[in-house]
Amino acid sequence: MNTVLILNQDYTPLTVCSVQRAFTLIFLQKAEMVSEVKERKLRSINHSFPFPSVIKIKYYINIPYKGVVMTRQNIFKRDSGKCQYCGTTKDLTIDHVIPRSRGGKSTWTNLVTACKKCNSKKSDFTLEKVGMKLQKAPIKPSYLSFLKMNLAKNREDWLPYLKTKNQT
């Protein structure tokens, strides 16, 4: 619980930072505290300060593209660190659902986390040919869904700020 959710001026999620960085932004009056962790305090020799959980930047920051970068680590995170064929969490690698030799690209929707055993079994074939199935279809995560999946675990105080606009 040493991370803080940073919201834009309009309360849309921007990113996550350390408690120290959040405190600095508040202290420099560049941000204000929206939510604090009641059970904890930041202490100096003479003072005690609220422990930030969610802060809001005072001036709107325009971010033209807020997407999730496709990296090996982010694919593992999207797939919850599990083989998408058998569900194991050991000896993980990346697999192309449609093999590159058959025209498959390195995209969010064609890459999945797979254990070495399943990756070897599938080899250079299609799923139908080897009789394998994906546990869930690979998707390109939105920035908001990625924050929810990976950063908001056990952070119920963040959930109201991570709801999409069409949720109630």
- Domains of the chain by range and CATH? 3-65 (no CATH), 72-130 (1.10.30.50)
pLDDT one-digit tens code per residue, 130-152: 999 999 999 999 887 787 776 66
Strand residues in the chain grouped as ranges (E): 3-7, 13-18, 31-43, 48-57, 92-96, 111-115
In whole angstroms, what separates CA 128 from the centre of its chain? 31
Q: How far is CA 45 from CA 42, 48, 49, in A?
A: 10, 8, 11
Per-residue pLDDT at 151 = 66
- Pairing, β 31-43 against β 92-96: unpaired
Per-residue pLDDT at 79 = 94
Q: How far is CA 59 from CA 9, 29, 136, in A?
A: 6, 11, 40
Backbone angles phi, psi at 51, to 5 degrees: -90, 110
Per-residue pLDDT at 167 = 41
Per-residue pLDDT at 168 = 37
* Rounded Cα distance, 134 and 84, in Å: 5
Return averaged pLDDT per consecutive 10 residues of the chain, 168 residues in all: 89 89 96 94 92 95 82 92 96 96 95 96 93 94 78 75 58
Per-residue pLDDT at 164 = 57
pLDDT one-digit tens code per residue, 68-85: 889 999 999 899 999 999
The pTM of this model reads 0.68
Strand residues in 25-154 grouped as ranges (E): 31-43, 48-57, 92-96, 111-115
